[in-house]
Structure 1
Amino acid sequence: MNRDESWTVIAEQRGAVADLLADLTDAEWDIPSLCAGWRVRDVAAHLALAPQPPGPFTMAAEAIRAGGRFHRLNHDIAVRHASRPGADLVTELRQHAGSRRLPAVTNYRNTLFDVLVHAQDIAVPLERPLVMPIRAAAAGATRVWTMGWPFWARRRLRAVRLVATDTDWSAGAGAEVRGPIAALLLLMTGRRAALPALSGPGAAQW
C-alpha cells in the first residue's frame, strides 16, 4: 500500500473506533483490552493522541518520569489522557481522524499497523466486530515482520511459517501456522486472542 492508501485506512479505522466507542457504558470503558495492562479507555486515549503528539520538551519530561522506558512512557501518557470523559475521546478521534500529523519517532507505516491492532484491542474484548481491511493488514504484517523492535516477531516466531488464508502473504520457515491475515498480525504483535483463528502444525505449540 502506498502512503495515500495507508492514510485513508488510518482515517477510516479511527472513525470506526470512534463509532464503536460512542455508546459504551461506563463499565465497558474500563474493560481490559487485548493490550496487557491497558483498559479500553487507555487504548482509545492512545489512538486519540497519536495525531496530536506532545512537543519535544514535554516528551523529554515524560521520558525522565518513565525512567527512559518506552513502554512505560507510552502507557503513562495514555492513562493520564484517558482520565477525561469517554465522550471527549470519541470527539478527538473523529476530529483528528484524517490528520497526517505524526510523532517525530515514527512513520505512516507504523501508524497503519498501530491503529489496526489497537482497534482490535478494543473491539475483541467488547465482542463488537470491527473489520480489519485485508490489504492493510498484509501491509501491517509485512512491516511488523521486518522491523525488529518492539515486537521482534521474526525472532519470536522463527520456528514457524506464517501463511495467510485470505490473501497471498507468508513469512518465515518451519511448521506452518495458517489463519486470516488479521489474526497473523495480532499474533505477531503478541495478542494471544488470535490463537483460536489459527491452525496448522505450528499452531499446536501455543
Structure 2
Amino acid sequence: MDRESSWAAIERQRLAIAGLLTELTPEEWAAPSLCAGWRVRDVAAHIALTPQPMPLRTLLAAGLRARGDYNRMIDRLTVAHAKHPVAELVSQIRDQAASRRLPGPTNYRNILFDIIVHGQDIAIPLGRTLTTEPAAVAAAATTAAGIGRPIWDAHRLDGLRLRATDIDWEFGAGREIRGPVLALLLLVTGRTALRHELTGDGTDFAIDRLTRSRRAPAPHERAANS
C-alpha cells in the first residue's frame, strides 16, 4: 500500500476502534487486553497518544527514567495517559483519526501495523469483532516482520515461512506457517489468540520462539505507575 492508502486505512481503523470503545462497559475497559501487561484502557490510551507527539525534552526525560529501555518507557507513558477519563480517550482517538502526526522516529507504515494490532488487542479478548482490510493487514505484516530491536528479536523469524491463505502474501523461508493474514500478523507481533487458525509444521516452533522474544512490562513497573 502506498502512503495515501495507508493513511486512509489508519483513519478508518481509528474510527472503528473509537466506535467499539463507546460500547464498552466499565468492566470491559478494565479487562486484560492481548497486549501483555495492558488493560483495554491502557491500549486505548496508547492509541490516543500516538497522534500526539511529545516534545523531545519529555521523551528524553522519560527515556532516562526508563534507563534506556524503550518498551519500559512506552509502558510508563501509556499507563500515565490511561488515567484520563475513558470518554476523553475515545474523543481523542475519534477527533484525531485523520491526523498524520508521527511520534518520534517512526513512519506511516509503523502506525498502520500498530493500529491494526492494537485494535485486535482490544476486540479479541472481549469477544468483539473489529473489521480489518486484508490488503492493509498484509502491508502491516510485512512491516512488523521486518522490525527488530528495540521492539523484538531481529532473528525471531529466521527459518520460518509465513504464507497467507486469504490474500497473496508470504514472508521468509523455512518451516511453513499458513493461515489468514491477520492471524499471521498477530503471531509476528507475539500474540497467539488466533493460533487455532494457523497450520503448518512451523506453527508450534514459531509460537514458542515468538512469544518468548516479546517483552511484557514487568509487574513492578505497572505497580509503580498505577
Q: Shorter-chain TM-score category? A: over 0.9
Report how far residue 193 of structure 1 moved: 1.1
| Runs of 4+ residues over 4 Å off in structure 1 | none
- After superposition, residues 138-157 of structure 1 pair within 5 angstroms as 138-149=138-149, 150-152=151-153, 155-157=155-157
| 1:27 and 2:30 are equivalent in the alignment | no
Counterparts of 1:69 and 1:200, CA distance in 2: 35
CA RMSD in angstroms comes to 1.2
Aligned residues of 2:10 and 2:97 also touching (Cα < 8 A):
yes
Q: Please tell me the residue identity of whatever aligns with 1:151.
A: W
Aligned residues of 1:151 and 1:190 also touching (Cα < 8 A):
no
| 1:125 and 2:125 are equivalent in the alignment | yes
SS in 2 for 1:156: coil
Aligned residues of 1:10 and 1:115 also touching (Cα < 8 A):
yes
Number of the residue aligned with 2:74: 74
TM-score, normalised with respect to structure 1: 0.95
Q: Please tell me the residue identity of whatever aligns with 1:98.
A: A
SS in 1 for 2:163: strand
Report how far residue 151 of structure 1 moved: 2.7
92-101 or 21-30: which moved more?
21-30
29-38 or 196-205: which moved more?
196-205
| 1:116 and 2:116 are equivalent in the alignment | yes
Counterparts of 1:8 and 1:15, CA distance in 2: 11
SS in 2 for 1:193: coil
SS in 2 for 1:176: strand
Aligned residues of 1:144 and 1:151 also touching (Cα < 8 A):
no
191-200 or 88-97: which moved more?
191-200
Report how far residue 142 of structure 1 moved: 1.0
Aligned residues of 1:144 and 1:189 also touching (Cα < 8 A):
yes
- After superposition, residues 1-206 of structure 1 pair within 5 angstroms as 1-149=1-149, 150-152=151-153, 155-205=155-205, 206=207
Counterparts of 1:195 and 1:23, CA distance in 2: 27
Report how far residue 30 of structure 1 moved: 1.0
Q: Deviations over 1:151-173 (max 9, x none)?
A: 346x2232321110011111122
Report how far residue 175 of structure 1 moved: 2.1
196-205 or 105-114: which moved more?
196-205
TM-score, normalised with respect to structure 2: 0.87
Q: Deviations over 1:9-57 (max 9, x none)?
A: 1111110000000021111111111110011000100000100121111
User: Which runs of 5 or more structure 2 residues have no equivalent in the other structure?
Assistant: 208-226
User: Which runs of 5 or more structure 1 residues have no equivalent in the other structure?
Assistant: none
Counterparts of 1:73 and 1:81, CA distance in 2: 13
Q: Please tell me the residue identity of whatever aligns with 2:140.
A: G
Aligned residues of 2:145 and 2:157 also touching (Cα < 8 A):
no
SS in 1 for 2:178: strand
Counterparts of 2:15 and 2:124, CA distance in 1: 17
Q: Please tell me the residue identity of whatever aligns with 2:133.
A: P
Q: Please tell me the residue identity of whatever aligns with 1:36.
A: A
SS in 2 for 1:46: helix
Question: How many percent identity over aligned positions?
Answer: 53
Q: Please tell me the residue identity of whatever aligns with 1:65.
A: R
What is the aligned length? 205
SS in 1 for 2:194: helix
